[in-house]
Amino acid sequence: MRVAHNSPASRILASTKCRAIYARCRVLHVTTSRKRFAIAALAALISLIGFVIFYRSNYVAPPFKVAPLPKSVPALTPAEVEEILSADFILIRRVQQIPAPVKADYTALANQPFEMVNPGQTRSTDAIIPGVPNKELVFVGLAGDCAVLIFKRGGLSDTTNAAVFSHRGTGGVWTARIDDSVQDIATLRNAVHNHRFEPWDADFLFAHPPE
Protein backbone atom coordinates (compact mmCIF):
# COMPACT_ATOMS: atom_id res chain seq x y z
CA MET A 1 0.00 0.00 0.00
CA ARG A 2 1.36 3.38 -0.98
CA VAL A 3 1.27 6.26 1.41
CA ALA A 4 0.35 9.54 -0.20
CA HIS A 5 3.09 12.15 -0.14
CA ASN A 6 2.60 14.75 2.61
CA SER A 7 -0.31 12.84 4.03
CA PRO A 8 -0.70 12.48 7.82
CA ALA A 9 0.50 8.90 7.54
CA SER A 10 3.60 9.93 5.59
CA ARG A 11 4.37 12.66 8.11
CA ILE A 12 4.03 10.20 10.98
CA LEU A 13 6.28 7.72 9.15
CA ALA A 14 8.89 10.40 8.46
CA SER A 15 8.74 11.57 12.05
CA THR A 16 9.21 8.00 13.27
CA LYS A 17 12.23 7.56 11.01
CA CYS A 18 13.71 10.84 12.18
CA ARG A 19 13.32 9.85 15.81
CA ALA A 20 14.93 6.49 15.11
CA ILE A 21 17.85 8.16 13.29
CA TYR A 22 18.18 10.72 16.08
CA ALA A 23 18.19 7.96 18.70
CA ARG A 24 20.87 6.05 16.81
CA CYS A 25 22.97 9.22 16.43
CA ARG A 26 22.59 9.97 20.14
CA VAL A 27 23.71 6.46 21.07
CA LEU A 28 26.66 6.79 18.68
CA HIS A 29 27.57 10.19 20.16
CA VAL A 30 27.43 8.85 23.73
CA THR A 31 29.50 5.80 22.78
CA THR A 32 32.10 7.96 21.02
CA SER A 33 32.26 10.36 23.97
CA ARG A 34 32.80 7.46 26.36
CA LYS A 35 35.56 6.08 24.17
CA ARG A 36 37.26 9.48 24.01
CA PHE A 37 36.98 9.85 27.77
CA ALA A 38 38.43 6.36 28.31
CA ILE A 39 41.33 7.09 25.93
CA ALA A 40 42.02 10.43 27.64
CA ALA A 41 41.90 8.82 31.09
CA LEU A 42 44.26 6.03 29.96
CA ALA A 43 46.68 8.56 28.49
CA ALA A 44 46.62 10.58 31.71
CA LEU A 45 47.26 7.42 33.76
CA ILE A 46 50.19 6.42 31.54
CA SER A 47 51.64 9.94 31.82
CA LEU A 48 51.30 9.83 35.62
CA ILE A 49 53.00 6.44 35.82
CA GLY A 50 55.80 7.69 33.56
CA PHE A 51 56.28 10.77 35.73
CA VAL A 52 56.39 8.68 38.93
CA ILE A 53 58.95 6.31 37.41
CA PHE A 54 61.07 9.23 36.16
CA TYR A 55 60.89 11.01 39.51
CA ARG A 56 61.76 7.92 41.53
CA SER A 57 64.65 7.00 39.22
CA ASN A 58 66.12 10.50 39.26
CA TYR A 59 65.26 12.16 42.55
CA VAL A 60 64.26 9.62 45.23
CA ALA A 61 67.11 8.23 47.31
CA PRO A 62 67.07 4.47 48.01
CA PRO A 63 66.87 3.48 51.69
CA PHE A 64 70.20 3.68 53.52
CA LYS A 65 69.34 3.88 57.20
CA VAL A 66 72.65 4.29 58.97
CA ALA A 67 74.08 6.92 61.30
CA PRO A 68 76.80 9.06 59.66
CA LEU A 69 80.34 8.01 60.53
CA PRO A 70 82.35 10.13 62.98
CA LYS A 71 85.24 12.13 61.58
CA SER A 72 87.84 9.71 62.94
CA VAL A 73 87.22 6.09 61.99
CA PRO A 74 89.62 3.18 61.40
CA ALA A 75 91.07 2.72 57.92
CA LEU A 76 89.86 -0.38 56.09
CA THR A 77 92.47 -2.72 54.65
CA PRO A 78 92.39 -3.65 50.94
CA ALA A 79 91.34 -7.16 51.96
CA GLU A 80 88.39 -5.76 53.93
CA VAL A 81 87.47 -3.57 50.95
CA GLU A 82 87.53 -6.58 48.61
CA GLU A 83 85.24 -8.45 50.99
CA ILE A 84 82.82 -5.49 51.09
CA LEU A 85 82.88 -5.20 47.29
CA SER A 86 81.82 -8.85 46.92
CA ALA A 87 78.26 -7.92 47.98
CA ASP A 88 75.41 -7.06 45.62
CA PHE A 89 75.31 -3.29 45.23
CA ILE A 90 72.57 -0.95 44.05
CA LEU A 91 74.16 1.72 41.86
CA ILE A 92 73.11 5.37 41.81
CA ARG A 93 74.27 7.72 39.08
CA ARG A 94 72.40 10.90 40.05
CA VAL A 95 73.58 13.31 42.72
CA GLN A 96 69.93 13.97 43.67
CA GLN A 97 69.49 10.30 44.65
CA ILE A 98 72.48 9.99 46.96
CA PRO A 99 71.27 9.26 50.52
CA ALA A 100 72.02 11.88 53.16
CA PRO A 101 74.33 9.58 55.23
CA VAL A 102 76.67 9.13 52.24
CA LYS A 103 76.91 12.89 51.75
CA ALA A 104 77.49 13.31 55.49
CA ASP A 105 80.27 10.70 55.42
CA TYR A 106 81.95 12.53 52.55
CA THR A 107 81.61 15.87 54.33
CA ALA A 108 83.19 14.46 57.51
CA LEU A 109 86.01 12.96 55.47
CA ALA A 110 86.68 15.96 53.22
CA ASN A 111 85.77 18.66 55.72
CA GLN A 112 83.77 20.42 53.02
CA PRO A 113 80.22 20.27 51.62
CA PHE A 114 79.25 17.57 49.17
CA GLU A 115 79.44 19.34 45.80
CA MET A 116 79.46 17.31 42.60
CA VAL A 117 77.84 17.44 39.19
CA ASN A 118 75.99 14.56 37.58
CA PRO A 119 77.81 12.30 35.09
CA GLY A 120 78.42 14.10 31.82
CA GLN A 121 77.64 17.57 33.13
CA THR A 122 80.07 20.46 32.79
CA ARG A 123 82.50 20.84 35.68
CA SER A 124 85.55 22.89 36.48
CA THR A 125 88.90 21.47 35.39
CA ASP A 126 92.10 23.44 34.90
CA ALA A 127 89.73 25.99 33.39
CA ILE A 128 87.78 27.20 36.41
CA ILE A 129 84.07 27.90 35.97
CA PRO A 130 82.89 30.10 38.86
CA GLY A 131 80.32 28.33 41.02
CA VAL A 132 80.74 24.97 39.23
CA PRO A 133 82.28 22.07 41.24
CA ASN A 134 85.43 20.38 39.98
CA LYS A 135 84.15 16.94 40.96
CA GLU A 136 81.84 14.73 38.87
CA LEU A 137 79.92 11.78 40.24
CA VAL A 138 80.56 8.42 38.58
CA PHE A 139 78.32 6.39 40.87
CA VAL A 140 77.39 5.58 44.44
CA GLY A 141 76.94 1.93 45.39
CA LEU A 142 74.83 0.79 48.33
CA ALA A 143 74.89 -2.66 49.92
CA GLY A 144 73.54 -3.27 53.41
CA ASP A 145 75.42 -0.95 55.76
CA CYS A 146 78.23 -0.11 53.30
CA ALA A 147 78.53 2.56 50.62
CA VAL A 148 80.96 3.18 47.77
CA LEU A 149 81.52 6.61 46.23
CA ILE A 150 83.33 6.97 42.90
CA PHE A 151 83.96 10.41 41.44
CA LYS A 152 86.26 12.24 39.05
CA ARG A 153 88.23 15.31 40.00
CA GLY A 154 89.05 17.83 37.30
CA GLY A 155 92.40 19.56 37.05
CA LEU A 156 95.33 19.51 34.67
CA SER A 157 94.36 15.86 34.28
CA ASP A 158 91.31 13.97 35.50
CA THR A 159 91.64 11.53 38.36
CA THR A 160 89.22 8.76 39.35
CA ASN A 161 88.74 8.54 43.10
CA ALA A 162 87.09 6.03 45.41
CA ALA A 163 85.81 6.10 48.96
CA VAL A 164 84.38 3.05 50.73
CA PHE A 165 82.35 3.70 53.88
CA SER A 166 81.59 0.81 56.21
CA HIS A 167 79.04 1.27 59.00
CA ARG A 168 79.63 -2.15 60.49
CA GLY A 169 80.64 -2.15 64.14
CA THR A 170 82.76 0.92 64.87
CA GLY A 171 82.88 1.74 61.17
CA GLY A 172 85.71 2.11 58.68
CA VAL A 173 86.81 4.11 55.62
CA TRP A 174 89.05 3.34 52.64
CA THR A 175 90.09 6.02 50.15
CA ALA A 176 92.24 5.89 47.03
CA ARG A 177 92.92 7.25 43.59
CA ILE A 178 92.21 4.48 41.10
CA ASP A 179 94.53 3.94 38.13
CA ASP A 180 91.80 2.32 36.01
CA SER A 181 88.54 3.69 34.66
CA VAL A 182 85.80 2.58 37.05
CA GLN A 183 82.16 2.36 35.97
CA ASP A 184 80.92 -0.45 38.22
CA ILE A 185 81.73 -2.43 41.36
CA ALA A 186 83.42 -5.28 39.47
CA THR A 187 86.07 -3.03 37.91
CA LEU A 188 86.68 -1.33 41.26
CA ARG A 189 87.13 -4.69 43.00
CA ASN A 190 89.52 -5.78 40.25
CA ALA A 191 91.57 -2.58 40.69
CA VAL A 192 91.78 -3.15 44.45
CA HIS A 193 92.71 -6.81 44.00
CA ASN A 194 95.52 -5.89 41.58
CA HIS A 195 96.68 -2.95 43.72
CA ARG A 196 96.02 -0.45 40.93
CA PHE A 197 95.43 2.44 43.31
CA GLU A 198 97.25 5.04 45.38
CA PRO A 199 96.25 6.58 48.74
CA TRP A 200 94.49 9.92 48.56
CA ASP A 201 96.42 13.14 48.82
CA ALA A 202 93.65 14.87 50.76
CA ASP A 203 95.23 18.33 50.56
CA PHE A 204 95.24 18.08 46.78
CA LEU A 205 91.99 16.21 46.34
CA PHE A 206 89.83 18.46 48.50
CA ALA A 207 91.46 21.76 47.69
CA HIS A 208 88.91 24.25 46.42
CA PRO A 209 89.51 25.50 42.88
CA PRO A 210 90.88 29.04 42.93
CA GLU A 211 88.33 31.77 42.31
Name the pLDDT band for 209 (thresholds 50, 70, 90). very low
Measured CA to CA, the distance from residue 151 to residue 160 in angstroms comes to 6
Q: Is the pLDDT of residue 155 over 50?
A: yes
Residue 69 lies in a domain: no
Name which residue leads in pLDDT, 202 or 126.
126
Question: Residues 186, 110: one domain?
Answer: yes
Q: Is the pLDDT of residue 54 over 60?
A: no
Q: Using a CB cutoff of 8 Å and minimum separation of 24, what contacts does 105-111 make?
A: 105/68, 105/69, 105/147, 105/163, 105/165, 105/173, 106/149, 106/163, 108/68, 108/69, 108/70, 108/71, 109/71, 109/163, 109/173, 109/175, 110/202, 110/205, 110/206, 111/206
pLDDT score of 44: 54
Question: Residues 97, 152: one domain?
Answer: yes
pLDDT score of 55: 41
3-state secondary structure of 11: helix
Name the pLDDT band for 175 (thresholds 50, 70, 90). very high
Question: Residues 33, 133: one domain?
Answer: no
Q: How many structural domains are present in the chain?
A: 2
pLDDT score of 71: 79
Q: Give tens-digit pLDDT for 42-52.
A: 555 554 444 34
Of the ranges 46-60, 124-138, 160-174, the best mean pLDDT one = 160-174
pLDDT score of 25: 66
Q: Is the pLDDT of residue 204 over 70?
A: no
Question: Residues 87, 119: one domain?
Answer: yes
Question: Residues 116, 52: one domain?
Answer: no
Residue 211 lies in a domain: no
Residue 66 lies in a domain: no
Name which residue leads in pLDDT, 16 or 207.
16
Q: Is the pLDDT of residue 78 over 70?
A: yes
Nearest residue to 176 via CA among 166, 189, 155, 162: 162
3-state secondary structure of 12: helix
DSSP state string for 146-161: EEEEEEEE-SSS-EEE
> What predicted TM-score, i.e. pTM, was given to this entire model?
0.71
Nearest residue to 163 via CA among 188, 194, 193, 183: 188
Specify which residues 166 forms β-bridges with.
146, 172
Residue 35 lies in a domain: yes
Region 35-42: mean pLDDT is 62
Residue 173 lies in a domain: yes
Question: Residues 44, 109: one domain?
Answer: no
* Range of the structural domain that residue 48 is part of: 1-60
